Structure 1
Amino acid sequence: MADFDIDTRGLDRFHGELEDLKKLFPNEAKRLMRASGNHARKIVLRRAKASVIEDTGDYFKSIKRGRVWVKNGEYKVRTYSRSRHAHLLEYGHRMVGPEPNKKELGFVLGFHVFDKAAKEINQKWNGILEKEFDKIMSKL
């Protein structure tokens, strides 16, 4: 029978690097989703500034990117508005007169900023993820 030795130093090092990458991946995945959520926020903000007429700018300042979370093995991130009147601008509202009789004067149509931005984000999402993934992989 022939005797032989296998040099496993390179294999052991590769196995260690693979384990390190497994440990790093959740953080990198969250970083990837955070960066792509920022891109989504910019798209929503651009869409809002194009369609909404705002006096104070509070609505624009209130558009935020949420925290990344994992649900059923999928990483998720959301973009939302913290403004108290955001739902009125988004979906529309009744226009009501002054206090004594509160006569309804009509209905103000909503701008549907998030719906329109969602369509644009869905079209660009793969490109955004690829670009951010390339940035992260170049750092590793």
Structure 2
Amino acid sequence: MSMEIEGLTEFQNDLLDVAKKKLPKESYKVMRKIGSKARTKVARKARTMVKKKTGNYQKGFKRGKAFKDSEGKYVVRVINSQPHAHLIEYGHQQVTKDGRNVGFVPGKNILRNGMAEFDNSGVFEKELLNWLDDLLESGGL
């Protein structure tokens, strides 16, 4: 999942480029903060979509480390670390105890839907603009 930055003026885009070059540690810090907000949004989406309330699946949502990818973009991942998460996410075959295939349980695509909802919410752009404003006010740039 990638997030596109929309709604930034040309000055803000230039400021963002300067901030990435001069303050890389601060860039990682803001990406971790945004990743935590995305994790919260995805976990809330999972609670509404998954009917079973055992809590193990909901507790498994984690934010990964912020890093630069091969293209030079800052990236932070949201994952579910539970061993059965892929079955809920992508679907699975339903099998009886004696090994007969009974049917297919479709996946819920919780991460994809949750991240799409986060992209459309505008939280990413808002946090980025607040960070840039704080950098300007503090004299960091």
With over 3 angstroms needed to count, the CA separation of the structure-2 counterparts of 1:38 and 1:120, relative to structure 1, is same
Matched, 1:116 2:109: no
Aligned residue identity for 2:48 = A
Segments of 5+ residues of structure 2 without an aligned counterpart are 1-20
**1:129, CA displacement in angstroms?**
2.6
Cα distance in 2, alignment partners of residues 57 and 138 from structure 1: 43
SS in 1 for 2:37: helix
8 A Cα contact 1:93 1:110, kept in partner: yes
Matched pairs, number: 116
Query: Where do 1:1-140 residues align within 5 Å?
Result: 22=22, 25-71=23-69, 72-99=71-98, 102-123=99-120, 124=122, 125-134=124-133
| CA distances 1:87-107 after superposition (whole Å, capped 9, x unpaired) | 1001111110112xx111111
Report if aligned partners of 1:32, 1:133 keep a CA contact under 8 Å in 2. Answer: no
The structure-2 alpha-carbon separation of the partners of 1:39 and 1:136, relative to structure 1 and needing over 3 Å to count, comes to farther
* TM-score (norm. length: structure 2): 0.73
Distance verdict in 2 for CA 1:97–1:50, change over 3 Å? same
Show structure 1 runs of 5+ residues with no match: 1-20
CA contact (8 A) 1:39 1:128 kept: no
